[in-house]
Amino acid sequence: MTAPLHEAHPSGPGRVLPDTQQGMRRRNLARVMHAVNAEGQLSRAAVASRIGLTRAAVSTLVDELIRSGLLEELGPERPGRVGRPGSALAVSGHGPAGIGAEIGVDHLAVCAVDLRGQVRARAIRHGANRGRSPEPVIDELTELLRQVVAEAKGEGLWPAGLAVAVPGLVARDARTVVRAPNLDWHDTDLGALLPADFPLTVDNEANFGALAELWLGEGTGGDFLHVSAEIGIGAAVVVAGGLLRGTRGFAGELGHVPVRPEGPRCACGGRGCLEQYAGEEAVLRAAGLEPGEDRVGLLAGRAAEGDAAVRRALRDAGKALGIALTGAVNLLDPESVVLGGALAGLAPWLLPSLEAELDRRTAGPACPVSVSRLGPQGPLLGAAHSVVRAVLDDPAAVAERN
């Protein structure tokens, strides 16, 4: 039951299909796509035994998917076992592509990912967007988009959808940026500004980063906590292979978990929130540095040089993070905690005190903490892959669009 939680579209194609024969067919097409995608390469017979249908049924499903350009026949597998070798199937590398876009505080990026998960085209543009009005920024993004789509088309791909990662809070309609403090945008409807050639989804960059970790990361099962720090400190809770968004979409506000109940006042109204100890501003102040451009790089650089004040500041931030995460881990019992976004770059100096605190406060074996190897690329990749997942989740929907 349950609708895929990564679907930001409230009524997107991922909703539960009616239990009629047509719906069954659509779901079975999806199951074939997922099976082939998971293994990279699979024969019809292998798909059949994996999803519990007969070879005959899978044959017709595969035929339909090949005709739609979603699956490709790679030819006979090299025989290793007894019996006739199967014919290898693979997800198509020339069909639909997911277009991901990222609006960062000081860059814009777009990429195209094919159904196999390969990045096939990309374009980046550096330059501070802080405080610029949405229109010119979106115009530049549209230009990058045009380039990437053109390049993808040159490779035989066609865009199945666009997903945009933004550093801010997005409304439930998955189109409107409610507020993005670091851009100084408020109630901006990106759907009205972006070209409407294909389905659009807008979501928070931390959410897309977590989804990227779920789909592309190593070792993470379906249950983990993805912590990142771009605008404040956010934790995305991934449960049962989907994002936990909360009733109002506000879930994951790790930054305002109380760390010291009588600590310094916070803008949220509370006292001693995590952000007062591990937030960017707090860490810079503790390190004795001025806020400026590329603050994370500055911190990492000074820490690498051995700057004692910076190292102490990061150690203290790690400790505060460990305290807040202890609460989260006790509440959710995740398989692991993953540090992503800006935190990934600072991990060498945050991790020791963070893990020490988590260990100390946990009765049994502590929850393992790892660092995302996706780093700053997470949100962009997650966005593009979210489109790819939507195709895999309902191949019939895109097949009839082309």
Partner DNA sequence: CTATTTCGTCATGGCCGTTTACAAATTAGT
Partner DNA sequence: ACTAATTTGTAAACGGCCATGACGAAATAG
Q: Which member of 84, 126, 218, 262 binds DNA (CB under 7 A)?
A: 84
Cα separation, 362 vs 240, in Å, equals 23
Using the rule CB under 7 A, which residue among 85, 195, 291, 297 binds DNA? Answer: 85
Nearer to DNA, 86 or 249 (CB): 86
Total Cβ atoms within 10 A of residue 98: 27
For residue 42, give the DSSP letter.
B
Find out whether 65 and 394 touch, Cβ atoms under 8 Å.
no
Q: Count the residues of the shown chain that bind DNA, applying the rule CB under 7 A.
A: 33
Pick from 30, 35, 36, 61: which binds DNA (CB under 7 A)?
Answer: 61
- 56 makes contact, choosing from DNA, its own copies, none, with CB < 5 to 8 Å by partner type, with DNA
What is the rounded CA–CA span in Å between residue 287 and residue 266? 19
104 interface partner picked from its own copies, DNA, none, CB below 5 to 8 A per type: none
Q: Which residue has the tokens 């771009």?
A: 230
CB nearer to DNA: give 30 or 157. Answer: 30
Length of the chain counted residue by residue: 402
Distance CA 181, CA 23 (A): 43
211 binds DNA per the rule CB under 7 A: no
- For the chain, the distance separating the N- and C-terminal CA atoms, rounded to the nearest angstrom, is 29
Q: What distance in Å separates the CA atoms of residue 39 and residue 263, rounded to the nearest whole number?
A: 51
How many CB atoms neighbour CB 365 within 10 A?
Answer: 7
> Is 310 exposed, middle or buried (CB count within 10 Å of its CB: 0-12, 13-18, 19+)?
buried
- Minimum distance from CB of 319 to its own copies (Å)? 9
Min separation Cβ 251 and its own copies, Å: 4
In the complex, what is the shortest distance from the CB of residue 19 to its own copies, in angstroms, rounded to a whole number?
Answer: 5
Q: Which helix (H) or strand (E) holds 25?
A: helix 21-39
Pull the structure tokens for residue 99: 């277009």
Rule CB under 7 A: is residue 62 a binding residue for DNA? yes
Residue 57 in contact with DNA, rule: CB under 7 A: yes
CB of 349 to its own copies, least distance (A): 20
Query: Which is nearer to DNA, 17 or 169 (by Cβ)?
Result: 17
* Residue 338 C-beta: closest distance to DNA, Å: 37
Pair of tokens at residue 399: 């097949």
Positions in the binding site for its own copies (CB under 8 A): 1-5, 16, 18-21, 24, 27-28, 31, 52-53, 221, 223, 235, 237, 239-240, 244-254, 256-261, 267-271, 273, 323-324, 326-328, 330-335, 360-364
- Of the listed pieces 81-89, 194-202, 345-353, 366-374, which binds DNA according to CB under 7 A? 81-89
Residue 11 binding partner per list DNA, its own copies, none, with a CB distance cut-off of 5 to 8 Å that depends on partner kind:
none
Pairing of strands 96-103, 158-166: parallel
Inter-residue contact 228 to 252 (CB < 8 Å): no
CA distance 350 to 333: 22
Relative to beta strand 336-339, strand 369-371 is parallel
59 binds, among its own copies, DNA, none (CB under 5 to 8 A by kind): DNA
Cβ nearer to its own copies, comparing 182 with 377: 182
Site mask, DNA, residues 10-39, x = CB under 7 A? --------xxxxx-xx--x-----------
Q: Between 19 and 305, name the residue whose CB sits nearer to its own copies.
A: 19
Closer residue to DNA, CB minimum distance, 55 or 312: 55
* Contact of 158 with 402, CB cutoff 8 Å: yes
Q: What minimum distance in Å lies between the beta carbon of 312 and its own copies?
A: 18
- Residue 194 neighbours by CB under 8 Å, 6+ apart: 138, 141, 142, 145, 162, 164, 200
Question: Which range, of 55-63, 107-115, 322-330, 345-353, touches DNA by CB under 7 A?
Answer: 55-63
Question: Residue 81 touches which of DNA, its own copies, none (CB < 5 to 8 A by kind)?
Answer: DNA
C-alpha–C-alpha distance, residues 376 and 73, integer Å = 35
The residues that touch DNA, with contacts defined as CB under 7 A, are 18-22, 24-25, 28, 43-46, 52-57, 59-63, 76, 79-87
